[in-house]
């Protein structure tokens, strides 16, 4: 089984691993909590200025941000992670 990793999932993972709630993380990024929520749910993409802030804070690398946003805009899968069971397990 494959799982698609999106920019929203990466943002949520970073936020939760940092021990921040949406309000705290949104404040650090200079956006409203509802904006961050939309990003995490993949309903909206961050504007270029916000992408720069995400890169500056080490949330994503420049290359990864570019890849994630390009994939989100085109509708193609971003990254596939294989989760068990593996076909080789059969």
Question: Splitting the chain (90 residues) into consecutive groups of 10 residues, what average pLDDT does each group show?
Answer: 75 95 96 95 88 90 83 60 54
User: Is the distance from CB of 65 to CB of 54 less than 8 angstroms?
Assistant: yes
Say what the pLDDT of residue 64 is: 84
Place of tokens 């929520």: 37
pTM, rounded to two decimals: 0.72
Handedness of CA 41, 72, 44, 54 (dihedral sign): positive
- Pull the structure tokens for residue 19: 């021990």
Say what the pLDDT of residue 31 is: 95
Say what the pLDDT of residue 30 is: 93
Burial class of residue 28 in the structure, from the number of CB atoms within 10 Å of its CB (0-12 exposed, 13-18 middle, 19+ buried)? middle
């Amino acid at each position: 089984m494959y799982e698609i990793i999106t920019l929203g999932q990466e943002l949520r993972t970073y936020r939760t691993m940092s021990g921040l709630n949406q309000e705290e993380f949104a404040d650090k990024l200079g956006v409203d909590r509802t904006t961050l929520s939309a990003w995490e749910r993949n309903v909206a993409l961050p504007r270029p200025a916000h992408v720069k802030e995400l890169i500056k804070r080490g949330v994503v690398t420049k290359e990864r941000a570019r890849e994630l946003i390009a994939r989100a805009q085109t509708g193609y899968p971003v990254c596939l992670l294989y989760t068990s069971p593996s076909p080789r397990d059969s």
